[in-house]
Amino acid sequence: MNNLPTVTKNLLIINVLCFCGYYVAKRYGINLNDMLGLHFFLASDFNLGQLVSYMFMHANFQHIFFNMFAVWMFGRTLEHVLGPQRFLTYYLVCGIGAGLVQELVQYVQYATLLSQYDSVNTGLAIIPMAEYLNLMTTVGASGAVYGILLAFGMMFPNAPMMVFPIPFPIKAKFFVIGYAVLEVLMGFGSSGDGVAHFAHLGGMIFGFLLITYWRKKNNNNGQFYC
């Protein structure tokens, strides 16, 4: 941990502390994921602060492990290239952008499927619509992580990567493109896997826009990076 750059190290620490805090609070009947997770904006439990807090909460060990592994693996390189301030800005913008896209997707689902009903049958019980809307909660750093993957692919497009189960290295740009295509396919699929695939894409979209803006600004100043 001592060799990690400051922002990457602190992001790992904060996420792990929040994850541990979730389980400690759960023993006392407090659901931090419900309090700090991102609720649908038409739900009574929604507040703007959740657009930031949701990305530090996780559903289970597998969820946080793979997200933090990606932050550790790719974030440290990006922080060295961008610098601490820009890297933190990038991480937060991607995370918030992913949350906004998730809100938009949920609104489309609500407007097209749910808005005409007063209650919803969840399969276990029929509950009022207002109560159901509060169940539409998103947690996780995946949006920011997918933004990090996008940035790595843009800055180091030809870097070789070993991806299981492919038995040979592939270039980072193809790795990122493959992930983006997979998320599109899974997002439009009807798997009902509980994963916010469009939020992942939202993190990549906002990351692309921010990197493009920085590159244009740097070029106009006669400076270059990546």
CATH number of the domain encompassing residue 214: 1.20.1540.10
Using the predicted structure, report yes or no on whether residue 170 has a pLDDT greater than 90: no
Q: For residue range 7-22, what is the model confidence (pLDDT) as tens digits? A: 999 999 999 999 999 9
| 225: in domain | no
Which is higher by pLDDT, 30 or 160?
A: 30
Q: Which domain holds residue 181?
A: 6-220
pLDDT band at residue 224 under the 50/70/90 scheme: very low
How many structural domains is the chain composed of?
A: 1
Residue 226, in any domain of the structure? no
For the chain, the three-class secondary structure string (H helix, E strand, C coil) is CCCCCHHHHHHHHHHHHHHHHHHHHHHCCCCHHHHHCEECCCCCCCCCCHHHHHHHCCCCHHHHHHHHHHHHHHHHHHHHHHCHHHHHHHHHHHHHHHHHHHHHHHHHHHHHHHCCCCEEECCCCEEEHHHHHCCCEECCCHHHHHHHHHHHHHHCCCCEECCCCCCCCEEHHHHHHHHHHHHHHHHHCCCCCCCCHHHHHHHHHHHHHHHHHHHHHHHHCCCCCC
Classify residue 141: in a domain, yes or no.
yes
- The separation between CA 125 and the C-alpha centre of its own chain, rounded to angstroms, equals 31
**Model pTM?**
0.91
The pLDDT tens digits for 175-217 are 888 888 888 888 887 556 678 889 999 999 999 999 999 988 8
Q: Quick check: 6 pLDDT over 80?
A: yes
